[in-house]
Amino acid sequence: MNTKNETLKLIEPTADLCDAYTDLVLDFRAAGRPFHQNYFDDLLDFGAFVDRLRHLDPPTAEPITMHLWAVRGRTIVATVSLRGLAVPTETGCDAQLTCHVRPSERHATNDVLALVAERASLLGMRRLRLTPADEPVARPPAASAPTTAACSV
């Protein structure tokens, strides 16, 4: 049973959470915000989708992209894409972060970002640039430091 008191944690995507991913997509749809345009394709072969997320870059690729899910119990609270940048930006950011927080869990945005910042720090990433989830990755940063306003909430 999911409660707001369960611990929020970051995990690698897993095929065991197909129903939770479907709930995430439905949460975005109910809020009038499409999750992403090909989500039905993801659900047709969820195992293959998860495998693609987990193995998007070969282990030797630089920079590497990590896809993570912030979960509370069996609820996916947010999806996260964290990519180390080969060359830091003019503002010193050495990693790119895209975060989709489910509309019904907006209150958890800061907690999700704190978990991601901790994981990024363990990977040697010192400064994250947030990319709004509905904007192309190439968009220049609006501010020199990450803010929750740049996260999809």
pLDDT tens digits for range 76-120 = 999 988 887 777 777 777 888 888 899 999 999 899 989 988 888
Order of strands across the sheet that contains 8-11: 8-11, 65-72, 75-84, 95-101, 128-131
Radius of gyration of the chain (CA): 15
| pTM assigned to the model | 0.75
Name the region of 106 (left: φ>0; alpha: ψ -120 to 50; beta: rest). Answer: alpha
